[in-house]
Structure 1
Amino acid sequence: MRLRELLDADELGLLLLVGPRDGDGGLDRAISAVPTIDLADPGRFLGGGELVLTGLAWWRADGDAEPFVRVLARAGVAALAAGEVEHGLVPHDLVRACRRHGLPLVAVRPETSFAAVTEHVLHRLHRRDVGSLAAVVERHRRLLTDRAAPDSVLELLRHSLGLEVRVLSATGRQIAGARPPLHPKTASALAARYLAARRAGEAVPHRVTVGGRLHSLVPVRNGHGDAAELGDWLVAVEADVSRWPPTDAELLDRVVELLTDARSAHERAKAALRDLARRCLDLVRSSVPAEEIPVRLRSTAQAVISGVGTWPRCQYVVAGGERDGDRPVPASAVRVLLEEALVQEDGPVRATAQDIAATVDGDRAVLLVLVPEGGVDCAALQRRLSAALARWLGPADGVRVGVSSPVDDPGDSRRALAEAHNALRVAADGPDRVTVRGPDDLTAHVLSLLPLIPAEARRAFATRHLDPLRDHDRRHRTDLLATLETFLDCDASWTGTAARLHLHVNSLRHRVARIEQLTGRDLSRLETKLDFLAALRSG
């Protein structure tokens, strides 16, 4: 039993007066015995790990607590529980001494007997030590036959250690474990801390504090190689498992091994869906006549996903990532990351794992997602990925996602896949480290189409339109290029531009006339304004 469990027992009403030092994990210390001691020097009766109960008959004045607490701390007791009957309260002298030595101190109220505390602890210890053999056999039978195997595995930890344990994905989605689930912000924060610890190469278990509570995070590996952590599961325990006794630590290791097997089975279950995504992608990109695509796609999707005689409404999602500015994140890692983000209960689309077929195409992940009315919420997907990757992405890293319009007919698949790739190109120019773009971003503004033009062509366009102004500014120390940019930013307003540049309107008109003379373009025409805007965005 652990001190944290004892404090959580409402019927005892114990009050923690002195907690463990920062990072000490004292609330997770295992309690091995419950002696009641009222001797000033109890050292010869202690072996370590005890919850010492004392009625404080030995305390008479300030200074008495220091030698008593020093002995307890050196013996390695788990905590000291002091009764309030003798003195009406726990003396401040004892509180100060426990704080100096980092020994947790608990107050036992007058209406709670030491016998009740002792019985509570011994009952828990007895239940764990001599558990029913039949119950053990039944739990192992469930591990072998229950389709919800991860939850059955975690039941072992709850029964044996009294701890609530959860398994989370790298996006913070709860896969198995205690209910109710963690608050979404807490789960996302734990997942983000895990990814940061993995990237930094920190030793396992990872110890993180979220919301003032210490958690240990233990990975359930997804595979090997760069960025494999994006597909990991993580076991989250609200305890410092590095301080657990060897028997408890070994039990946790065995549970993680069982969860690894469950993780592998989970991946195998996705094999058919991933094969479907690959066949769909190959067919859409093949030379098959357009009129044949509906029949072939309908048959493929019907057999593996929908089970109905009509084409399921779907969207394409294409994604990629880069590390250190030039090294791609493995597409398989991005694929798993998106699969997890899209099946969140409060996520960007109402989809289950069976509604997503995902594959890889070079350094990109490609997903076919069955969607209800409305489709994928690009803004929600960006928020979800940003929260998960906040601590994992470096300043030169990025993850980009493009989403197509919903496809109601299989004959539109080629167009939709091309649209998703175009949205991905637009996302590549996004200002954020995680950028998701969809069909609305392709039609919201004509300038959003610039990323679809090859970079070399964009640079040549900008050079042709802007170099005359750059050369003039360099030779004559003028600000014609800045004037043009401000003029367009102010929607060609003469008074607004003049006010922003602190110029008289006549001076501004003279500058604009000079710009028109050097470039041979008429800024009163809409197409000229759009050309210059495009050149400025491209240069």
Structure 2
Amino acid sequence: MTTVRTLLDLPGLRLRPRAGNDLLDRPVTRIYVTELSDPGRYLSAGELVLSGLLWWRSPGDAEPFVAALARSGAAALAASGADSGGIPDDVVDACVRHRIPLLEVPADLSFSVITEQVVLALAAASDSARKRLQAAAGAPVETLVERASTELGLPCWVLSGLGRVVAGTAPLPMPADDVVRRYAAREAGPLTVLPVEGRHAVPWLIAVGGPLSTAQAELAEEVAGLVGVTRARAPRPEPELPEDVCVVALRTEGSDESRELLQELLPDGVVLESAGDTSYAAIGRWPESAAGSLSIVEPLLRAKRILGGVSESGPREEAIETARYALRVAARHAGRVAVVPAGEVGVHQLLLAGAPDGLRAALRRRVLGPLLAYDAEQHTDLVHTVRVFLECSGSPTRAAKALHVHVNTLRYRIGRAGELLGADLTEFTDQLDVYLALRAGDQAGG
């Protein structure tokens, strides 16, 4: 990494510090020559600004110039006083006030020589940095991130597309999921973010704490490639799981990303089955943050929707079947991401989820057919009355209150519905058959 101090050590330049001696370790990314009185719009962070001070006419002129350097994050100002009788005091004072290192350029030194020497120093440093990074090929991600931070002179992080910090050299200045969302939406932010190389369903990202010069961006891309190699080569241990496990069924509609997505989402899990767009993994427990992580990564995937079913803890085969049925329930939810824990699904829903659509539709027609036909002919809504009655646990009083009718009216309607259905709606088994038929219609879209 080239710093301001590095430039002071170049024997051919004979630069002399005039201000900011405690700031000489700032990294220098490139050189910019200007004689504009306010060059702010053309500056970028890390630049060595070279000026002959032709913009300086009288005391006070230095303030806007140096303030612009400070706002842009310039590394230092190298100034020649050959045309101004030396460096004016207000230039020195402004640099002290705005904490900009000031280097005095000898009056007999050509700017072309300075530019050439600085460019060569930056190129040599970049080449050395690249070689040092390449020498770390195959190292753990944490090591690569530390090397990258040293070479770039900026904090660095590797983030998973699920919003997880894989490694970093400092506390992340914003939530990781915000970084991923901004990247997915192509929104600018305080960090420079680029993808880690490699063909993975869930991408990893390199985040750097600040804007990058061209040379720095090239180094960051080098790091991205090395991290990608390390990720691809990293062994995946298979943890031992207890006899009773939680099983997650995950479907990535329209893509084959389910297996890799499960592996990244549940690093402590074991993939049990994987076929096409659906995979199953056994874990100790379902992390509460997992559903939110799926919503974060969804824009970065090829899948049209992400669906999940999560079983409760139990014997593996039973847990697989429960997760499979919960997944079928999730498939009937709206939205691009839907995860259904089995514990939040009624038993009747799990049972119906295991039945094919045609069977559910047939069940609805067989049990409810006469009542549906009557409602259509008479323009009544006995089906709704029966549903409310059953959802009120067969209580005429509660159902009448919910429907805003007299209890005798409710009893008459339920009796008429029972006649049409050939069922006694005060008997539990008949109630159960009719309720399941109603819910089968819901799940079949009827």
TM-score above 0.5, yes or no: yes
Q: 2:354 aligns with which of 445, 452, 456?
A: 452
CA distance in 1, matches of 2:390, 2:103: 76
CA 1:497–1:173 in 2, change beyond 3 Å: closer, same or farther? same
* Contact 1:173/1:340 (8 A) holds in 2: no
* Contact 1:142/1:152 (8 A) holds in 2: no
* Contact 1:381/1:436 (8 A) holds in 2: no
| 1:465 match | 367
Q: Which moved more, 1:422-431 or 1:160-169?
A: 422-431
User: Alignment partner of 2:307: what SS?
Assistant: strand
CA distance in 1, matches of 2:411, 2:43: 74
Q: Report whether the alignment pairs 1:219 with 2:195.
A: yes
1:392-429 Cα distance to aligned partner (Å, 9 max, x none): 689x943222344546xxxx544443343333334333
CA drift of 1:468 comes to 1.6
Alignment of 1:445-524 (within 5 A): 445-524=347-426
| 2:178 match | 189
| 1:143 match | 136
Alignment of 1:26-425 (within 5 A): 29-33=45-49, 39=55, 56=60, 78=72, 113=96, 117-118=100-101, 129=122, 139-140=132-133, 143-144=136-137, 146=139, 148=140, 150-181=141-172, 186-194=175-183, 196-197=184-185, 206=186, 208-209=187-188, 213-223=189-199, 230-241=201-212, 244=213, 246-266=214-234, 269-270=235-236, 305-306=239-240, 314-322=245-253, 328-330=254-256, 333-343=257-267, 351=268, 356-357=270-271, 360-369=274-283, 371=284, 375-377=285-287, 379-389=288-298, 391=299, 397-406=304-313, 413-425=316-328
CA distance in 1, matches of 2:97, 2:52: 8
CA distance in 2, matches of 1:461, 1:537: 10
CA 1:130–1:341 in 2, change beyond 3 Å: closer, same or farther? same
CA 1:80–1:161 in 2, change beyond 3 Å: closer, same or farther? closer
After the TM superposition, which segments of 4 or more aligned residues of structure 1 sit over 6 Å from their partners? 24-27, 130-133, 310-313
CA 1:432–1:531 in 2, change beyond 3 Å: closer, same or farther? farther
| 2:111 match | none
CA 1:502–1:222 in 2, change beyond 3 Å: closer, same or farther? same
CA 1:25–1:518 in 2, change beyond 3 Å: closer, same or farther? farther
CA 1:311–1:535 in 2, change beyond 3 Å: closer, same or farther? closer
CA drift of 1:31 comes to 2.3
| 1:282 match | none
Give the % identical residues. 27
Show structure 1 runs of 5+ residues with no match.
3-8, 13-23, 42-53, 60-64, 82-107, 198-205, 274-303, 323-327, 344-350
User: Alignment partner of 2:258: what SS?
Assistant: helix
CA drift of 1:315 comes to 4.3
* Contact 1:167/1:177 (8 A) holds in 2: yes
Larger radius of gyration: 2
CA distance in 1, matches of 2:286, 2:142: 30
| 2:37 match | none
CA distance in 2, matches of 1:496, 1:117: 78
CA distance in 2, matches of 1:170, 1:530: 46
1:45-76 Cα distance to aligned partner (Å, 9 max, x none): xxxxxxxxx962589xxxxx8xx89xx99x9x
* Contact 2:308/2:330 (8 A) holds in 1: yes
CA 1:340–1:137 in 2, change beyond 3 Å: closer, same or farther? closer
CA drift of 1:263 comes to 2.7
CA distance in 1, matches of 2:243, 2:374: 59
CA distance in 1, matches of 2:272, 2:195: 23
| Residue type at the aligned position of 1:486 | V
* Contact 1:335/1:358 (8 A) holds in 2: no
The TM-score, its normalising length taken from structure 2, stands at 0.68
CA distance in 1, matches of 2:171, 2:318: 43
CA drift of 1:515 comes to 0.9
CA 1:490–1:115 in 2, change beyond 3 Å: closer, same or farther? closer
CA distance in 2, matches of 1:489, 1:240: 60
* Contact 2:138/2:230 (8 A) holds in 1: no
* Contact 1:399/1:433 (8 A) holds in 2: yes
User: Alignment partner of 1:523: what SS?
Assistant: coil
CA drift of 1:80 comes to 9.6
CA drift of 1:538 comes to 1.3
| Residue type at the aligned position of 2:164 | R
| 1:277 match | none
* Contact 1:423/1:441 (8 A) holds in 2: no
| Residue type at the aligned position of 2:259 | R
CA drift of 1:451 comes to 0.3
CA 1:397–1:492 in 2, change beyond 3 Å: closer, same or farther? farther
CA distance in 2, matches of 1:240, 1:80: 12
CA 1:25–1:341 in 2, change beyond 3 Å: closer, same or farther? farther
CA RMSD of aligned residues (A): 4.6
Q: Report whether the alignment pairs 1:434 with 2:337.
A: yes
* Contact 1:441/1:448 (8 A) holds in 2: no
CA distance in 2, matches of 1:340, 1:120: 50
User: Alignment partner of 1:113: what SS?
Assistant: helix
CA 1:448–1:314 in 2, change beyond 3 Å: closer, same or farther? closer
User: Alignment partner of 1:401: what SS?
Assistant: strand
CA drift of 1:120 comes to 10
1:438-468 Cα distance to aligned partner (Å, 9 max, x none): 55356x5334321012221111111122222
Show structure 2 runs of 5+ residues with no match.
4-19, 24-39, 76-90, 106-117, 442-446
1:10-65 Cα distance to aligned partner (Å, 9 max, x none): x99xxxxxxxxxxx999953422275959467xxxxxxxxxxxx962589xxxxx8
| 1:87 match | none
* Contact 1:220/1:263 (8 A) holds in 2: no
User: Alignment partner of 2:136: what SS?
Assistant: helix
